[in-house]
Amino acid sequence: MSRSDALILEPDDGPARSALIWLHGLGATADDFAGLNLQLQCPGLRVIALQAPLQPVTIFGGQVVPSWFDILPKPGGRVTSNLDELEESARRIHAEFKQQREAGIDRLAIGGFSQGGALALFAALTHPEPLAAAVCLSGYLPQDEYLTQRAEHLTLQTPVFMAHGSQDDVVLHEYGEVSRDWLRGHGASVDWYSEAFAHTVTAEEFAALGEFLRTHLS
């Protein structure tokens, strides 16, 4: 099943009892994760793989690609995210959660890869109430200075799963570690998985993620 803005993967073991909203990486598509529900092996899980809009990305020289928010260069070789676009994408996710609840699904999770993982963390922290789980694969916490300034207003009770390859040369491993430490330092519970892989998702990583989701969505 699909919509114009999403690929919806229903469980093959009966009606959906939980839902995972999944966010692809920069320049990718929802179809990249077409088999995600089978890889996770989480009973009763509906996966809603959202599609990012086409928009220019500054660090790509203004090239128009699927993107959740613009990424801009900062001095010292670092980057930052467009906060307005980040918040707009988070509102889209929050609206999707509301629709799932209205459909009778109240065990809700958010996750994503790379830029999608960054948005997943932001959306979970800015959601008005805790979710069952949040997942960030090969990603990072965007706008950490902004989030630090309003830390008392964030939702930090959502259990988090983060995974990052030590050989990642796209989103550096240290960025994931810094984001993990920020979350833990502000009281969030973070399960951390890391092995010697690059900017990709491995079978072992999916297995660890599946175990985490079965724990928090069952």
| The pair of three-digit structure tokens given for residue 204, joined into one six-digit string | 């072992």
Which CATH number does the domain 2-217 belong to among 3.40.190.10, 3.40.50.300, 3.40.50.2000, 3.40.50.1820? 3.40.50.1820
- Verify whether residue 89 is a known catalytic residue: no
Note the pTM of the prediction, 2 decimals.
0.96
- Verify whether residue 169 is a known catalytic residue: no
Strand 6-9 and strand 45-50: the pairing is antiparallel
Per-residue pLDDT at 1: 54
Per-residue pLDDT at 2: 59
C-alpha distance from residue 102 to each of 64, 72, 94, 95, 145 (Å): 35, 37, 13, 11, 34
- Verify whether residue 199 is a known catalytic residue: yes
Contact 42, 209 (CB under 8 A): no
Query: Residue 161 belongs to what H/E stretch?
Result: strand 160-163
Contact 176, 140 (CB under 8 A): yes
Q: Which residues of 56-85 are buried (b: 16+ CB within 10 A; e: fewer)?
A: ebeeeeeeeebbbbbbeeeeeeeebbbeeb
Per-residue pLDDT at 218: 85
Q: Which of 114, 127, 138, 191 is catalytic?
A: 114
d(CA 57, CA 1): 30
Task: Report residues of the chain scoring pLDDT below 70.
Answer: 1-2
Q: Is 133 helix (H, G, I), strand (E, B) or coil?
A: strand
Per-residue pLDDT at 46: 97
Query: What residue ranges do the domains of the chain occupy?
Result: 2-217
Per-residue pLDDT at 195: 95
Per-residue pLDDT at 79: 86
Q: Which of 24, 70, 168, 179 is catalytic?
A: 168
| The pair of three-digit structure tokens given for residue 174, joined into one six-digit string | 């240290």
Q: How many CB atoms lie within 10 A of CB 12?
A: 8
Q: Give residue-wise pLDDT tens across range 155-165.
A: 999 999 999 99
DSSP alpha helix (H) spans, the chain: 36-40, 83-102, 115-126, 144-149, 173-185, 203-217
| The pair of three-digit structure tokens given for residue 14, joined into one six-digit string | 């009966």
Beta bridge partners of 65: 55
Per-residue pLDDT at 4: 82
